[in-house]
């Protein structure tokens, strides 16, 4: 079939008038000889969105390289076939956020799952991803589907899959991801209208949401009278988060009104990701105005949390704690509360958590990136990833949970206030007990996705011998297998003095990411921090010169 024939076949089965009209117009322009339209069609039909790290994720639009109802139907049918092969009476719970088409994709999925003979339950309304992850365990479901693109741009959506049973409600890993992908390929040979559907779909009771709220509130320590700002970043976190905070005994937050309610266009931010520059500006403005002690920011599906604190040296008097700072502080808190168990983080997260585990006499596990790996660490009591993801209650949720983590942060600040401590003094104690750790990240967004593998290939072919004048003592190529991990597109540079640089493609966005870490255990707390920060600054300048 020709490219135009492929497009016309897609149009014939597409149930969505928006994407059908979009593709119709594109075909007409291509038939009229418009090169840009032909190139657009060629890209849309150049393959399929990969079913991998986070299930499916991509830009909304027509064609197999976009997120749309046809592709989602194929994913649901493929998941159903996989589950029916695994067990005789599988069940799936489906959740969705407030993005464009999330509710439609969720309803299509539930109807197709039910039509295939899978017991399907759908959450009652747009809710945070952690509620869906909780529901998989609470309902003892065979699997869970969350329709979300998390913190991606407004034009994106996605399809995240969890497995119950022996997988415990964690996200899919190999070989399940490959097996599901193979079933999706088979389902792709069936037209949308020919997938059996059923209206026999159960809507989850509100008691399920209430159970998540109660269980999350239970992890709070004795609350102190904190004044804090909360933003949902135009996502679905506010309702559940506010109920959790109230039930835990914390005062009501000052809410950033302009970002309080779900809005799939995310009008006040360039990217709805608290890590991005400017994303927390409205929250910081509210904090200055209200005299707040801290800022809590969820991303749109509330599986991540960012923390802002007053800082006289920062522009505007506030700064966001890095994901690693929050990660090791919550890890230290978890370690103090438990005599046994495992602390876990991904290889791109700070080495600080390993040192906390060593000093506190706990087990430590380092994993590949993603909570699908972190959540599977044996004996896990706490896990985190530097990209603002924290798993503080593994018995309840086997994924990062921005609302539970927010409760843990509020509890930590309450404990510090009750002890007459400040965050600054607490960070000093950490540096003296475990060493000072500094980290930074270079994130290069690309328009041409081929630029990422080209850059990785260039670094592999000619690894740097020094970065910013610091000697590279060794290079670990995870494609060749490192530390028993499966092959992965990651390079790690081991540097003189104990620093490191890790380079990898993002698993969810068109970015190349570079992670920089250094530490110091000499001198006072402030001297240790200054030394580690200076090393990271040198590494950052050196890697920018190499990458950009």
Is 150 an active-site residue?
yes
Exactly one of 109, 150, 349, 404 is catalytic; name it: 150
Q: In terms of residues, how long is the chain?
A: 548
Token representation of residue 33:
């000889």
Query: Using CA atoms in the order 100, 103, 104, 110, what is the torsion angle rounded to 10 degrees?
Result: 150
Q: How far is CA 503 from CA 369, 492, 514, 540, in A?
A: 12, 7, 4, 12
Sheet holding 363-367, edge to edge: 363-367, 342-346, 380-385, 389-391
For helices 238-248 and 402-418, angle between their N-to-C axes, nearest 10 degrees: 30
Token representation of residue 221:
């320590």
Sign of CA dihedral 236, 271, 273, 426: negative
3-state secondary structure of 315: helix
> Does residue 496 contact residue 473 with C-beta atoms inside 8 Å?
yes
Q: Is 386 exposed, middle or buried (0-12, 13-18, 19+ CB in 10 A)?
A: buried
3-state secondary structure of 362: coil
Token representation of residue 52:
């991998």
Q: How far apart are CA 166 and CA 169, in angstroms?
A: 8
Token representation of residue 222:
């004795």
Active site (catalytic) residues: 150
């Amino acid at each position: 079939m020709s490219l135009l024939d492929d497009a016309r076949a897609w149009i014939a089965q597409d149930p969505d008038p928006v994407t059908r009209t979009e593709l119709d117009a594109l075909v007409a322009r291509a038939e009229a000889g418009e090169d840009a339209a032909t190139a657009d069609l060629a890209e849309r039909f150049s393959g399929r969105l990969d079913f991998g790290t986070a299930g499916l994720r991509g830009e909304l639009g027509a064609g197999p390289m976009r997120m749309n109802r046809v592709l989602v139907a194929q994913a649901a049918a493929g998941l159903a076939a996989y589950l029916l092969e695994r067990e005789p009476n599988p069940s799936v719970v489906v959740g969705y956020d407030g993005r464009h088409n999330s509710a439609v994709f969720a309803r299509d999925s539930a109807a197709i799952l039910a039509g295939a003979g899978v017991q399907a339950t759908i959450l009652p309304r747009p809710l945070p991803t952690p509620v869906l992850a909780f529901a998989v365990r609470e309902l003892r479901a065979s699997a869970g589907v969350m329709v979300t693109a998390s913190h991606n741009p407004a034009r994106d959506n996605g399809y995240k899959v969890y497995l119950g049973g022996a997988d415990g409600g964690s996200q899919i890993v190999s070989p399940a991801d490959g097996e599901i992908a193979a079933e999706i390929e088979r389902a792709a040979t069936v037209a949308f209208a020919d997938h059996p559907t059923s209206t026999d779909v159960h809507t989850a009771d509100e008691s399920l949401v209430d159970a998540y709220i109660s269980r999350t509130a239970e992890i709070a320590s004795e609350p102190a009278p904190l004044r804090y700002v909360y933003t949902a970043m135009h996502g679905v976190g506010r309702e559940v988060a506010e109920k959790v905070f109230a039930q835990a005994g914390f005062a009501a937050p000052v809410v950033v009104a302009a970002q309080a309610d779900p809005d799939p266009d995310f009008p006040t931010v360039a990217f709805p990701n608290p890590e991005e520059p400017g994303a927390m500006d409205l929250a910081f403005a509210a904090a200055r105005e209200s005299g707040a002690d801290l800022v809590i920011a969820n991303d749109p599906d509330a599986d991540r949390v960012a923390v802002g604190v007053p800082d006289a040296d920062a522009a505007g008097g506030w700064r966001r704690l890095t994901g690693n700072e929050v990660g090791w502080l919550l890890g230290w808190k978890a370690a103090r509360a438990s005599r046994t168990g495992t602390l876990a983080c991904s290889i791109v997260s700070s080495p600080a958590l390993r040192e906390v585990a060593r000093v506190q006499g706990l087990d430590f596990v380092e994993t590949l990136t993603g909570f699908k790996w972190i959540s599977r660490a044996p004996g896990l009591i706490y896990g985190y990833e530097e990209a603002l993801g924290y798993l503080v209650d593994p018995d309840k949720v086997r994924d990062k949970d921005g609302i539970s983590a927010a409760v843990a942060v509020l509890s930590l600040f309450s404990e510090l206030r009750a002890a007459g401590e400040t965050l600054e003094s607490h960070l000093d104690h950490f540096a003296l007990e475990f060493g000072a750790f500094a980290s930074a990240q270079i994130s290069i967004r690309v328009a041409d996705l081929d630029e990422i593998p080209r850059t990785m290939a260039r670094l592999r072919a000619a690894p740097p011998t020094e970065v910013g004048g610091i000697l590279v003592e060794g290079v670990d190529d995870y494609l060749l297998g490192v530390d028993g991990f499966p092959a992965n597109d990651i390079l790690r540079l081991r540097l003189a003095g104990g620093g490191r640089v890790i380079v990898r493609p993002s698993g969810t966005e068109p970015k190349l990411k570079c992670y920089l870490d250094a530490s110091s255990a000499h001198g006072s707390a402030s001297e240790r921090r200054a030394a580690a920060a200076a090393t990271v600054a040198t590494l950052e300048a050196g890697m920018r010169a190499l990458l950009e």
